[in-house]
Structure formats: structure tokens, C-alpha cells
């Protein structure tokens, strides 16, 4: 357990100044924030790495959203769709090889992650002078700013926030990825709406880990860094310590480990010295304080893991299970039941449309159903979880047969579970998704040279992993004049076959 000191840390001034503290050792400098922009863009699993200037596809807007030592973040308009995105721009000449490797690491890790509470990446470009990371946009600002504005949160609000963070952390740990820099500055609200989703950003210090093997890089941010990282012997549970610090701040408005300088902060972290003695804690429940103690446990082997943290009574008390909406569940699961694997190319294009063009509104109901089915909150659906859902709308024997069939159709990466994007692709309203307007927009995005037709070579560049036999079949079935080009009408014909 963390020992408690009678001395109260400096409060609001320390919180306001914490962004000025330098990261320990070789942390990347300025953290870029993506906010004050509007987006309806969904998730993306297919991420294109492109050479050449980004301006052929995007219009970059002024002024920058944020500036750092090595670059900036700008709003950008995607020329083919007029959709707003954000672009993180990094100067090659001002970054070391190690920092550039971290940037590539961030891109590669984000490509592997598919969770509603994790920032989604769209594309990665580079030219002679810059790297560009294109991501989804968040309009609600940082959790850090909300803490500074409100001072502290009720236990209910804090628990709702922590559930979202822990759900994403649990998912990352299941994927064998540790974040290593969780803090309110790296948590953005998707929108300014009351119940907006939180998104974890900045995965540049993240790393894939091997279970039971310790990590030894001293990475993190003062106030949030786990004591075992200071000893350079740690595992993924360092993220849970950071979660404990975040929760402490949410409930009182100031950090548990504070000091006049970085050395003093690190000394308190190493000792696990923090206090619940100030007046801000008088009305906070014993359950909340005990929950914090379990997260700020000095011994990582005794500290809660992410799954345990999600299952604790205090979190459950303020996060009631989503109400079972039978009409909605029936509608979504019927769509899932009707899902049929299409030709590989059409299937890839459907994923492309969902990722690039499906709106937040279209996916709101699907997210609600997904979260209702995802009873262990690991960000994916197991056979057992899907079976529990179907058993509520059909006979048990029929439900087993249906779930087995669905997994063969939907689990494209053979992971043994259905990822969030796989679920959205299989359950979204297909007729609405493949509207004429949206297909035209998709056609313009795929027509890279703006010639008015899509060459097979253009399609091959975007959709890799499709066999030559399928490309030959596409030409045979849909290239009516055999010119190696797919016209807009031919594209309509190809996609209408899967409505």
C-alpha cells in the first residue's frame, strides 16, 4: 500500500505547472494536442504509408493547433471528401534517428489498435523534409483542461472517466502493448457533448512487451511515472499506477506526488508517499480511497491489473451495465446474422468506406450494442459474449449455430474474437453505407490520379494482399471494355452486388 503523509501537496498551481516539467531521461519533448476541430470520421485499420507531399491529398489549414520543438499539428481538409482531419507534422532535420524511430513505432502501434477509446490513425506520409501522421479529430479538448476548469469531479463522473481509460488500457495490455505515458494531457474528448468518448493519444513511447519479461527504459512524465520505472525494472502494470494518479487528481484537483522540483517529486514517488488528509478528501468515500490505494501499490505484483481494476466494486457502483435494449439488440444482431463474406476486393472497399466515411451518428447505436455485449470490457467480442447476446433473441441451439457461422464470416484476422471495426462493418446499415453519394465519394478517393477512372494498379496499391486471380476476376466481371480501368458506372455495378 502507498504510505500516507500528513503534508498536503501544493494543489492547483502545481497542476497548472505540471506541463512545464521536463520528461525524464530521453522522453520526446512537446506533446501535440488535437482539439477544437469537428469530425465525423470513424476508425481505420487499413493505413497507407505514402511517399510524396501530403498536399496532393490534403489542404493544410492555418493557424496550427499546436507547436512543439520538432513540429506542429494542423487541421487538414481531405480534398476528395471535404472531411476535416488533423495532421501531425514533424521536421526530419530537427529530429534524431531515435526520435524518428519512435515516430514510426507510434504509427505501427496505432495501426494494430482498434478500440473506441483509442485515437485512430488514417495515413502516414513522408517527403524530403517532413513526416506527416493523419489522425481522427477530437473536438472536446483535453481532460487536463477540464480538470483545471472544474477543479475536481464527483465520484460518479470520475468513475465514468476511469472506466473508459481502463477499458482502453485493458485492451492494449491484451494486445501486449504498454502505453507508458498515460496522463490527462494525453486524453482527449471526442466532442463537446455531455457523454463524449475519451480517446487515449500519443503512443510514441508505447512498446510491445513480452509477458514475464521486464522493460528497462526510463520513460514517462513526472507526477505520473511509476516507481518501478525509476528502477528500470517494470512491466505493463506501470500504466495502472498512472491510472491511480489520474484518479487521485480527478477527485481532488491536484497530484498525489508533488514537490518543488523533479527530484523531490521522484523521491515521493519512490516512497509511495501521498495523503488523503486535506479537506478535499473529507467527502470522498472510503471505497474510492481504497481503490486508489490498490492502483498506487508500490509492489507491482500486488497492484491491480487492468481487468481487475475494471471489476472493482467502486467502478461498477457508478458504471451500471448498459440497459439491454431488445429492439436495438435484435436489429443489430439481425444485421450481423445477414452478413455474408463478399469478394475480397469488395470486402476491402466496404472496410475502406466504413473507416473513412461512416459518421459518428451511424456508429453510435452500434457502439452501444458492442459495449453491451462486451461484458468483460476488453474491447472485443468472444464467442461466449456473442452467444449470450443471441441467446436473448433466439433459442439456445439456434444461437450456437449462428455464432459459429458468424465467427467464420466476421473474424477476418482469425483472432478468436470480433474486433470493434469488424463488428461495425458486419452490422452497419449496408444500404445507407453504399448510397450513390458515398460511392461517388469513395470512387474519387480511389482515383488517385484524378483521371475519372480507377486503374487496377491504383486498386492494387491501396488494397494489398489480394491474389492475382481475384484481380483477373474483377477485370473479367466488371471491366466491360477490357481497358484495365474501372469507370464510375462499373464501380457502381461492382459495389451494388453486395448490398
* Burial grade of 493 (CB within 10 A; 0-12, 13-18, 19 or more): middle
Residues 467-496 pLDDT 10s: 777 777 777 777 777 777 888 888 888 887
Question: What are the binding residues for ATP?
Answer: 88
Helix (H, G, I), strand (E, B) or coil at 443: helix
pLDDT category, 166, cuts 50, 70, 90? Answer: very high
Instruction: Give yes or no for residue 498 having a pLDDT over 60.
Output: yes
Nearest to 32 by CA among 114, 131, 149, 147: 131
C-alpha 400/C-alpha 386 separation (Å) is: 9
The percent of residues above 90 in pLDDT, for the chain, comes to 34
The residue from 114, 181, 204, 378 that is catalytic is 181
What average pLDDT does range 403-424 have in this prediction?
83
Active site residue 449: no
Lowest mean pLDDT among 341-345, 382-386, 405-409, 453-457: 341-345
Instruction: Give yes or no for residue 162 having a pLDDT over 50.
Output: yes
Residues 204-234 pLDDT 10s: 899 999 999 999 999 889 999 999 999 999 9
pLDDT category, 46, cuts 50, 70, 90? Answer: very low
Q: Which residue has the higher pLDDT, 33 or 187?
A: 187
What average pLDDT does range 89-93 have in this prediction?
90
pLDDT category, 15, cuts 50, 70, 90? Answer: low
DSSP string, 444-496: HHH-TT-SSSEEHHHHHHHSTT--HHHHHHHHHHH-TT-SSEE-HHHHHHHHH
Lowest mean pLDDT among 95-109, 129-143, 316-330, 351-365: 316-330
Q: Which residue has the higher pLDDT, 321 or 449?
A: 449
What average pLDDT does range 28-54 have in this prediction?
40
Q: H-type helices in 10-88, by residue range?
A: 12-17
Which residues fall within 8 angstroms of residue 485, CB to CB, at 6 or more apart? 451, 453, 454, 455, 456, 479
Instruction: Give yes or no for residue 278 having a pLDDT over 50.
Output: yes
Check residue 307 and give its pLDDT. Answer: 94
Check residue 31 and give its pLDDT. Answer: 34
What average pLDDT does range 18-23 have in this prediction?
44
Q: Which range, 1-5, 150-154, 167-171, is most confident?
A: 167-171
pLDDT category, 296, cuts 50, 70, 90? Answer: very high
What average pLDDT does range 273-296 have in this prediction?
95
Instruction: Give yes or no for residue 271 having a pLDDT over 60.
Output: yes
Pairing verdict, β 207-208 and 177-178: antiparallel
pLDDT category, 12, cuts 50, 70, 90? Answer: very low
The percent of residues above 70 in pLDDT, for the chain, comes to 86
pLDDT category, 342, cuts 50, 70, 90? Answer: low
Check residue 366 and give its pLDDT. Answer: 85
What average pLDDT does range 113-131 have in this prediction?
90
Check residue 425 and give its pLDDT. Answer: 84
pLDDT category, 37, cuts 50, 70, 90? Answer: very low
Instruction: Give yes or no for residue 293 having a pLDDT over 80.
Output: yes
Check residue 340 and give its pLDDT. Answer: 57
Mean pLDDT of the chain: 82
Contact (CB, 8 A) for 24 and 181: no
Q: Provide the residue count of the chain.
A: 499
C-alpha 52/C-alpha 37 separation (Å) is: 26
Q: Which residue has the higher pLDDT, 360 or 256?
A: 256
pLDDT category, 27, cuts 50, 70, 90? Answer: very low
Check residue 8 and give its pLDDT. Answer: 35
Check residue 24 and give its pLDDT. Answer: 37
Q: Which residue has the higher pLDDT, 454 or 294?
A: 294
What average pLDDT does range 418-435 have in this prediction?
85
Question: What are the binding residues?
Answer: 88
What average pLDDT does range 368-377 have in this prediction?
85
C-alpha 20/C-alpha 36 separation (Å) is: 22
Contact (CB, 8 A) for 15 and 253: yes
Lowest mean pLDDT among 14-23, 356-365, 413-422: 14-23
Contact (CB, 8 A) for 234 and 300: yes
Amino acid at each position: 500500500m502507498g504510505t500516507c503523509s500528513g503534508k498536503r501537496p501544493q494543489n492547483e498551481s502545481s497542476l497548472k505547472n505540471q506541463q512545464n516539467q521536463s520528461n525524464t531521461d530521453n522522453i520526446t519533448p512537446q506533446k501535440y494536442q488535437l482539439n477544437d476541430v469537428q469530425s465525423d470520421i470513424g476508425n481505420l485499420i487499413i493505413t497507407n504509408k505514402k511517399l510524396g507531399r501530403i498536399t496532393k491529398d490534403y489542404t493544410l489549414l492555418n493557424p496550427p493547433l499546436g507547436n512543439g520543438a520538432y513540429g506542429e499539428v494542423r487541421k487538414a481538409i481531405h480534398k476528395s471528401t471535404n472531411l476535416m482531419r488533423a495532421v501531425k507534422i514533424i521536421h526530419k532535420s530537427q529530429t534524431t534517428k531515435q526520435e524518428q524511430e519512435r515516430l514510426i513505432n507510434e504509427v505501427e502501434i496505432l495501426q494494430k489498435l482498434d478500440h473506441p477509446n483509442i485515437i485512430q490513425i488514417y495515413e502516414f506520409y513522408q517527403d524530403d523534409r517532413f513526416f506527416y501522421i493523419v489522425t481522427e479529430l477530437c473536438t472536446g479538448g483535453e481532460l487536463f483542461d477540464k480538470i483545471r476548469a472544474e477543479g475536481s469531479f464527483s465520484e460518479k463522473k470520475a468513475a465514468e472517466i476511469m472506466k473508459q481509460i481502463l477499458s482502453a488500457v485493458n485492451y492494449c495490455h491484451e494486445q501486449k502493448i504498454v502505453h507508458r505515458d498515460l496522463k490527462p494531457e494525453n486524453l482527449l474528448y471526442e466532442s463537446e457533448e455531455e457523454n463524449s468518448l475519451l480517446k487515449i493519444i500519443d503512443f510514441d513511447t508505447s512498446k510491445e512487451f513480452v509477458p514475464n519479461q521486464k522493460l528497462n527504459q526510463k520513460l514517462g512524465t513526472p507526477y505520473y511515472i511509476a516507481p518501478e520505472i525509476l528502477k528500470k525494472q517494470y512491466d505493463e502494470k506501470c500504466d495502472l499506477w498512472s491510472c491511480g494518479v489520474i484518479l487521485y487528481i480527478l477527485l481532488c484537483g491536484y497530484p498525489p506526488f508533488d514537490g518543488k522540483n523533479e527530484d523531490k517529486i521522484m523521491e515521493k514517488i519512490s516512497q509511495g508517499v501521498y495523503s488523503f488528509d486535506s479537506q478535499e478528501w473529507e467527502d470522498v468515500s472510503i471505497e474510492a480511497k481504497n481503490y486508489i490505494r490498490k492502483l498506487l501499490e508500490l509492489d507491482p505484483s500486488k497492484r491491480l491489473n487492468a481487468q481487475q481494476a475494471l471489476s472493482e466494486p467502486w467502478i461498477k457502483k457508478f458504471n451500471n451495465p448498459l440497459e439491454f435494449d431488445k429492439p436495438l439488440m435484435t436489429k443489430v444482431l439481425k444485421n450481423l446474422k445477414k452478413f455474408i463474406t463478399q469478394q475480397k476486393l469488395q470486402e476491402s472497399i466496404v472496410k475502406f468506406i466504413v473507416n473513412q466515411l461512416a459518421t459518428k451518428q451511424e456508429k453510435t447505436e452500434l457502439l452501444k450494442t458492442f459495449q453491451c455485449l462486451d461484458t468483460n470490457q476488453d474491447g472485443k467480442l468472444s464467442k461466449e459474449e456473442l452467444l449470450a447476446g443471441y441467446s436473448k433473441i433466439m433459442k439456445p441451439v439456434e444461437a450456437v449455430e449462428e455464432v459459429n457461422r458468424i465467427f467464420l464470416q466476421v473474424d477476418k484476422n482469425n483472432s478468436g474474437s470480433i474486433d470493434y471495426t469488424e463488428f461495425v462493418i458486419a452490422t452497419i446499415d449496408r444500404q445507407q453505407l453504399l448510397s450513390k453519394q458515398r460511392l461517388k465519394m469513395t470512387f474519387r478517393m480511389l482515383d488517385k490520379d484524378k483521371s475519372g477512372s480507377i486503374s487496377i494498379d491504383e486498386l492494387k496499391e491501396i488494397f494489398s494482399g489480394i491474389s492475382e486471380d481475384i484481380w483477373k476476376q474483377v477485370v473479367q466481371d466488371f471491366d466491360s471494355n477490357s481497358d484495365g480501368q474501372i469507370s464510375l458506372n462499373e464501380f457502381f455495378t461492382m459495389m451494388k452486388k453486395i448490398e
